[in-house]
Amino acid sequence: MSQSLRTLVIGALSVATVTLILLSSHLKAQEPQAEQFPALHTERAQAYVRALTDRLPYVPGDILVKFRADADMAARTRALSVMRTGANAPEAVYVGEALLTHSSAEPNPEVLATILRRQPEVEWAQPNYINRLHSIPNDPGFSEQWNFELMNLPKAWDINPGGNANVLVAVVDTGANTTSGMTSFRLWTGSRFENVSVPFVANPEVPAARVMQGRDFTILGGPVRDMQGHGTHVAGTVLQETNNGVGQAGIAYNARLLPLKACLGFWDVQIVLGQLGIPGFLSDGWCDTAAVAGAIRYAADSGAQVINVSIGGPSPSPIYLDALRYAVQRGTFVTIAAGNSAEEGNPVEYPAAYAAQIDGVMAVGAVGPSGKRALYSNTGTHVEIAAPGGSDREGQLAMVYQTAVCKSDYDPLRTLRPRFDRYCNVPSAGTSMAAPHVAGVAALLYSQGITNPAAIEAAIKRFAKDLGAPGRDNEYGFGLIDARATLLGLGVVR
Amino acid sequence: MNRRQLRVVSLMTGLLITLSASVAFAQSQARVRQDRTTIWRIDAPVVAATVPAGTLLDVVGQAGSFYKVLIPEQFGGHGEVGRIAAGSFVFVPGSGDRTISHDGTAEAAPTAPADSRPASHSSPPRRHDEPAMAVRGFGQAGLMRPSAQESFRTVADQVYGFAFGGGVQLRVRNGLFVEGSFDQFRKTGERVFVYDDTVFPLGITDTITVRPLLFTAGYRFGSTRPVVPYVGGGLGVFHLTERTPFSEAGESIDETHTGYRMSGGVEFRGGQWLGTAFEAAYTHVPDALGNGGVSEIVDERDLGGFEFRVKLLFGR
C-alpha cells in the first residue's frame, strides 16, 4: 500500500513538474523577446570592477598556475598551500594546462605568483593580467578601403576569390552579434537602475550560414554578443560579405567565423555593475589573459584554421605562450596585433612578443595609406609583418573602414539606452585592424592548400614587400603583406 | 612520364624507325664490275647508258634477272630508272640488306651475283657521288630531361618532357657541317609553395616554355656511308617564358639567355634525299634559373639538360 502511495506521489510530482515547465515556457513565449542575462559570479565580477576602478593591471584575486608534468595531486596541493586560503581556493578551473584560481584573500597576485614560482612543483605562475584592445576608434565617415589596394588584395581575388567555407576563422575579441532579439539588462541610467531592453541584430554582413556558434569566455558568459564593435570590425576585415552591394568588403569572404568573446566593452561592464548593484559608470573594458588564452585553446580545439587576436598588454604571460603553441600544434595559424604604444614608451606587448618564438604565429604592425609605419604601431624584434592598420595622423580617409555596429547607437556620451541593431561603416585604426588583414590572407592560403601554420608564416614573409631597412627590421618586420604575390606562390623561375 | 606520353613516344619512335628503315632498305648501292656495262631502258630493249667499271649505282628494284637502277646523272640520267643484268655489278657492303623491291610490289631477297668479287678489287669509288655542298632541312622530336630536375619535378610533378622543332643543315664534302635549329620544350604544372621540404600545390596552372635557337658546327665521320656517326657543338639563345592564367605585366617571365650545346649521333642515309638521325645532346644554359621561384630554393641555375632526339632529314 505504501509503495502504491509512493508511486502515486511520484507520478503526481512528475506531472506537476512537466506542467510547470510547459507553463513556464508558455509564459516565456508570451513575454516580449527580452532575454534574461545569466547571473554573474559575484566575487569575480567584483574583482573585475575593482581592477577597473583602481586601474589595476590584473584581476585581483586571480592567479594562473601551471604545474610541472610530474607533479601529482598531492604535490599540487602542497604547492598551493602557500596561498592564504591554502589549497582550498573557492574557485578553480583549468585553462588548458593552467589552473585559474580566485581568492579574494589574495590582494596582490603578482606577489603570490612570485611565491608560487618558487615552489618546485610549479612550472610558472602569473596573475590574470588585463589586456586592452588595440584599436583607435574614430567617427564614421568615408568608406574607401585603401587598405585592400595597399596590400594588393583586389588582384589576389583574381586568383582566389574569397577562399572557401572549409576555412574557419576564430576572432578572439569582443564578440559578434550572431542572433537578433531583445535582451533586458539592469543598467544604471544616471539616477537609478532600470531594466533596459536592448535590441540586437545579427551582423547582416556576415550571413548566419557562415557563423559558427561562438562562446563567451568573459565573466558574463551567455550568448556571444558584441557591445563594443571591435570584434565585429575585426571580423569584418577578415571575412565580411563581399560583392553584395552593401557596406564594405572582407578578405576571405567565403570563410566561416567563430566569434569568441574574451573582452568586455563599456556596456558589458555596465551590465556587470548593474548585476552587482553598483551605481555609476566605468569607462573602460578589458580582456583578461585567462579568457584570451582559453579562447585561443577553444578555437584550436574547434578546428579553426586561423585565429586573430587583436589584444595585448605589457605583462609577460606564459599562459599565452602555452596557448599559442597548443594552437599551432593543432594546425592553427595565429595573428596578433603588435600593439599601439609606440609613442608611449614602446613597451613590449604580450602575446605579440611570443610570436617570434613560434613558427605559425605572427605579430602584425600597422601602416597607413602611405605605406609608412603608423606612429602608434609598436616596434621590436617580435614584429614580423606589417599590414594596413590605418593612421589617424593621415586623416579621416586613412582609417580602416569596416561594417560594425553604429557607434552613435551605443556611444556612452550620447545614450543611456544602447542599441546594437544597426550597422554602419565604422572607421578604426590600430594594429588591431592590421592583424585581421594577415588573418584574412592566411584564410585564403589555407583554402588554396597551405595547411601548415609555419608554412603560412613562411609564405607571408617571403612574399612581403620589403619596407624600411633592407630585410627584416623592427618597424615593418619582413615588410608589407602582399596578398597577390603570396597567393601566386612559386613557379620554376619566379 | 605517364602512360599516355609513353604511348606517344613509343608510337613516334616506332614510326620514325620504320620510316627510316624502309627508306634505308628500299635503295641499295651497287658497283659496276666491267667497263662498258649497259644499262637498258626499262620500257624497251634500248640502251639507256653505257657506264664504266666502278660506277656506283642506286639499285631500286628487281625485275627477273635484271635489277632496276637509277641512271646516273653523269651518264644522261634525270631520275629515270633503267635495268642492268644481275651479273654485271656487285652490291656495296653495308648499303642495305639487299632487300630490293621486286617489280615495286613485293620484297624479295635476290641472290647476289655468284661471280661477285670483293669491293676492294674494284676501282675506288668516285668522289662525284657526294656534292661539294648540300643543304638539308630536318624536323626533330625529342625527349628532354632538364638539369633543373628538382625545380621541374616540384612544379610539374615530372622531369621529362617533349621537345619539337626543326632546322637547316649545310654539309660540305669533307665531312663538316653547320646547322641552325630551333625547338620548343614546354612543361605545364602547378604553382606551389615549398616549406621544409613539403610542397604545397596552390591550384594555379604554371606553364614554362623554352625555345632554343641554336647554331651547331660538327663533323660527320665517313659522310658518303649510309650510316654516318657525327658530333657537333655550338651555342645559341634560349627564350624562356613562364606564365600563369593570372599573369599580369611584370609577373610573367619572358627572358633570353645564352647557352651551349654538345651533341652526337648516328645518321642513317636512306638514299640521296632522306635520312634519319638519332642524336643525344647536352645543353648548358648557366644562370638562367635560380634567381626566384622554386629553382632559387633548390639552388638550380641551369636551364639546359640532356635530350634524346630523332631527326628526319630531307635533302642531299
B143 shares a domain with B82: no
B96 shares a domain with B177: no
Chain B closest-CA separation from residue A444 CA (Å): 11
In this structure, what CATH number is given to the domain that contains residue B155?
2.40.160.20
**Model confidence, pTM:** 0.76
Residue B14 lies in a domain: no
B293 shares a domain with B151: yes
Taking contacts as CB-CB distances below 8 angstroms, the residues of chain A near B148 are 492
> Is residue A222 within 8 Å of residue A266, measured between CB atoms?
no
Mean pLDDT over residues A120-142, rounded?
Answer: 69
Chain A closest-CA separation from residue B283 CA (Å): 18
> What's residue A39's pLDDT?
58
Task: Identify from A164, A166, A492, A494 which residue to disrupt to test chain B contact, counting B C-beta atoms within 10 A and taking the largest count.
Answer: A492
With a cut of 90, say whether residue B225 has pLDDT above it: no
Write out the residue range of the structural domain in which residue B306 sits: 132-315
More confident residue, B73 or B215: B215
8 Å CB contact of B289 and A452: no
Residues in chain A, how many? Answer: 494
Give residue A392's pLDDT band: very low, low, confident or very high (50, 70, 90): confident
Find, in chain A, the residue whose alpha carbon is nearest to that of B154: A492
Task: Give the tens place of pLDDT for each residue, B23-50.
Answer: 443 457 888 988 888 898 877 778 888 8
With a cut of 90, say whether residue B186 has pLDDT above it: yes
Residue B17 lies in a domain: no
B136 shares a domain with B119: no
Residue B23 lies in a domain: no
> What's residue A121's pLDDT?
94
Give residue B20's pLDDT band: very low, low, confident or very high (50, 70, 90): very low
With a cut of 50, say whether residue A216 has pLDDT above it: yes
Q: What is the DSSP letter of B178?
A: E
> What's residue A283's pLDDT?
74
**Residue B13: φ, ψ to 5°:** -65, -45
A421 class by beta-carbon count within 10 Å (0-12 exposed, 13-18 middle, 19+ buried): middle
> What's residue A40's pLDDT?
67
Taking contacts as CB-CB distances below 8 angstroms, the residues of chain B near A461 are none
Which of A149-153, A481-485, B123-127 has the lowest average pLDDT?
A: B123-127
Task: Give the tens place of pLDDT for each residue, A251-264.
Answer: 999 999 999 999 99
Mean pLDDT over residues A97-102, rounded?
Answer: 88
Mean pLDDT over residues A223-237, rounded?
Answer: 95
With a cut of 70, say whether residue B120 has pLDDT above it: no
8 Å CB contact of A490 and B246: no
> Is residue B204 within 8 Å of residue B191, measured between CB atoms?
yes
B155 shares a domain with B56: no
In the three-class reduction of DSSP (H, G, I as helix; E, B as strand; rest coil), residue B249 is classed as coil
Give residue B129's pLDDT band: very low, low, confident or very high (50, 70, 90): low
Give residue A137's pLDDT band: very low, low, confident or very high (50, 70, 90): very low
> What's residue B270's pLDDT?
80
Find, in chain B, the residue whose alpha carbon is nearest to that of A486: B193
> What's residue A15's pLDDT?
46
Residue B84 lies in a domain: yes
Find, in chain B, the residue whose alpha carbon is nearest to that of A445: B202
Q: Does B155 touch chain A (CB under 8 A)?
A: yes
B55 shares a domain with B177: no
In this structure, what CATH number is given to the domain that contains residue B53?
2.30.30.40
> What's residue A26's pLDDT?
42
With a cut of 90, say whether residue A302 has pLDDT above it: yes
> What's residue B2's pLDDT?
52
With a cut of 70, say whether residue A384 has pLDDT above it: yes
8 Å CB contact of A492 and B155: yes
| E strand residue ranges, A408-478 | 423-429
With a cut of 80, say whether residue A342 has pLDDT above it: yes
Instruction: State the Cα–Cα distance between residues A128 and A286, nearest whole angstrom.
Output: 11
| Mean pLDDT for all residues in chain A | 88
Which of A131-145, A216-230, B122-136 has the lowest average pLDDT?
A: A131-145
What ranges in chain B are assigned the alpha helix state H?
Answer: 3-26, 149-156, 293-297
8 Å CB contact of A452 and B200: yes
Work out how many domains chain B is built from and give that number. 2
Chain B closest-CA separation from residue A305 CA (Å): 16
**Residue A427: φ, ψ to 5°:** -85, 140
> What's residue B106's pLDDT?
34
Q: Which of A158, A454, A490 sits opposite B194 (nearest CB)?
A: A490
B238 shares a domain with B101: no
Mean pLDDT over residues A15-28, rounded?
Answer: 43
Q: Which percentage of chain A shows pLDDT scores above 90?
A: 67
Q: Which of B189, B202, B289 sits opposite A493 (nearest CB)?
A: B289
Residue B38 lies in a domain: yes
Task: Identify from B187, B200, B209 which residue to disrupt to test chain A contact, counting A C-beta atoms within 10 A and taking the largest count.
Answer: B200
Q: Does B283 touch chain A (CB under 8 A)?
A: no
> Is residue A274 within 8 Å of residue A260, measured between CB atoms?
no
Taking contacts as CB-CB distances below 8 angstroms, the residues of chain A near B305 are none
Instruction: State the Cα–Cα distance between residues A478 and A386, nearest whole angstrom.
Output: 8
Find, in chain A, the residue whose alpha carbon is nearest to that of B150: A492
Last residue of a domain, one of B75, B110, B129: B129
Q: Does B224 touch chain A (CB under 8 A)?
A: no
Mean pLDDT over residues B120-143, rounded?
Answer: 69
Taking contacts as CB-CB distances below 8 angstroms, the residues of chain B near A454 are 195-196
Last residue of a domain, one of B129, B164, B197: B129
Residue with grid cell 565604422, as numbered in its chain = A426
B194 shares a domain with B113: no
Mean pLDDT over residues A369-395, rounded?
Answer: 94
Instruction: State the Cα–Cα distance between residues B291 and B300, nearest whole angstrom.
Output: 9
**Rounded (10°) angle between helices A318-329 and A289-301:** 10
B145 shares a domain with B204: yes
Q: Which percentage of chain A shows pLDDT scores above 70?
A: 88
Q: Does B147 touch chain A (CB under 8 A)?
A: no
Taking contacts as CB-CB distances below 8 angstroms, the residues of chain B near A493 are 208, 240, 242, 253, 289, 291-293, 295
Mean pLDDT over residues A32-37, rounded?
Answer: 44
Last residue of a domain, one of B129, B148, B170: B129
8 Å CB contact of B292 and A449: no
Task: Give the tens place of pLDDT for each residue, A165-211.
Answer: 999 999 999 999 988 999 999 999 999 999 999 999 999 999 999 99
Instruction: State the Cα–Cα distance between residues A292 and B225, nearest whole angstrom.
Output: 86
Task: Identify from B147, B150, B185, B202 which residue to disrupt to test chain A contact, counting A C-beta atoms within 10 A and taking the largest count.
Answer: B202
8 Å CB contact of B246 and A158: yes
Which of A157-161, A348-352, A393-397, B80-84 has the lowest average pLDDT?
A: A393-397
Residue B21 lies in a domain: no
Picking from A277, A262, A184, A252, the residue whose alpha carbon sits closest to that of residue A226 is A262
Give residue A106's pLDDT band: very low, low, confident or very high (50, 70, 90): confident
Residue B10 lies in a domain: no
> What's residue B130's pLDDT?
62
B144 shares a domain with B107: no
Task: Give the tens place of pLDDT for each residue, A406-459.
Answer: 988 999 888 899 999 999 989 999 999 999 999 999 999 999 999 999 999 999
8 Å CB contact of B204 and A450: no
> What's residue B65's pLDDT?
76
Mean pLDDT over residues B247-251, rounded?
Answer: 79
Q: Strand A311-312 to strand A122-133: parallel, antiparallel, or no bridges (unpaired)?
A: antiparallel
In the three-class reduction of DSSP (H, G, I as helix; E, B as strand; rest coil), residue B276 is classed as strand
| Mean pLDDT for all residues in chain B | 81
Instruction: State the Cα–Cα distance between residues A86 and A75, nearest whole angstrom.
Output: 13
8 Å CB contact of A454 and B196: yes
Residue with grid cell 608510337, as numbered in its chain = B11
Taking contacts as CB-CB distances below 8 angstroms, the residues of chain B near A492 are 148, 151-152, 154-156, 187, 189, 206, 208, 242, 289, 293-295
Q: Which of B154, B193, B292 sits opposite A493 (nearest CB)?
A: B292
Task: Identify from A158, A328, A445, A490 which residue to disrupt to test chain B contact, counting B C-beta atoms within 10 A and taking the largest count.
Answer: A490
8 Å CB contact of B200 and A449: yes
B144 shares a domain with B112: no
B221 shares a domain with B122: no
Taking contacts as CB-CB distances below 8 angstroms, the residues of chain B near A448 are 202-203
Instruction: State the Cα–Cα distance between residues A357 and A248, nearest whole angstrom.
Output: 35
Residue B9 lies in a domain: no
Instruction: State the Cα–Cα distance between residues B276 and B288, nearest whole angstrom.
Output: 32
> What's residue B126's pLDDT?
43
